[in-house]
Amino acid sequence: MNEEPKAGETKEAPKKKTRTTKLNVEISAINSLPAKQIEQLLDIEYAMFSQDKLIRETLEKKNEFESYIYEMRNKLGEKFAAYATSQVKTALLADLEKGENWLYSEGMETTKDVYAQRLDELKKVGEPISNRFKEYEAIPEVSAEFLQNLATYDSVASSTVKKPLIRLKLISIF
């Protein structure tokens, strides 16, 4: 009964038989919340996220307002002293003092919009002073660049054959 393979032949392994059975699986949500309750909880989570975002933005605006008060007060005494009249400086310092007093009293628990409004009111007076400072600081660089360009145009004008035409164009530019 046991047959041995002859020379040159290989013995095949017997095939494994498998049996498949269809299983009916029913999915039930025993440990799950109803869809409506999940939706309500997501709405609550979104509301909390929005509230946290508003609180964070309010604190950032409050910090920006406070920082502007301190920075402007320091700069008015040092950097910006020459760029504002004494009346404007006195008025701005008084406004900064009022803003600081308000901030640490009734301004502790206010909205982001109120901080932004108060900051804009201070910037209306402070920004022109800051801009004058920046413009005066840039004068040496701008004038050096202008003189360099003027020298370049003058050398170009003096090195060409068509001097009158180039000089006319150079004059019309300025």
- Those residues with Cβ within 8 angstroms of residue 83's Cβ, 6 or more apart along the chain or in another chain: 129, 132, 133, 136
pTM of the model: 0.64
Intra-chain end-to-end CA distance of the chain, in Å: 117
- Residue 80: inside a domain: yes
- Residue 15: inside a domain: no
- Give the whole-angstrom CA distance, residue 84 versus residue 82: 6
Phi, psi of 4 (to 5 degrees): -95, 140
Over residues 4-33, the pLDDT tens digits come to 666 666 667 778 888 888 888 777 666 778
- Residue 87: inside a domain: yes
- Residue 168: inside a domain: yes
- Residue 26: inside a domain: no
Other beta carbons within 10 Å of 62 = 21
> What is the total count of domains within the chain?
1
- Residue 121: inside a domain: yes
Over residues 58-106, the pLDDT tens digits come to 999 999 999 999 999 999 988 998 889 999 999 999 999 999 999 999 8
pLDDT at residue 61, rounded to an integer: 95
- CATH number, domain with residue 133: 1.20.1270.10
**DSSP-derived 3-state class of residue 68:** helix
Hey, what are 88's tokens?
């404007």
Give me the domain span that covers residue 48: 36-173
152 pLDDT higher than 50? yes
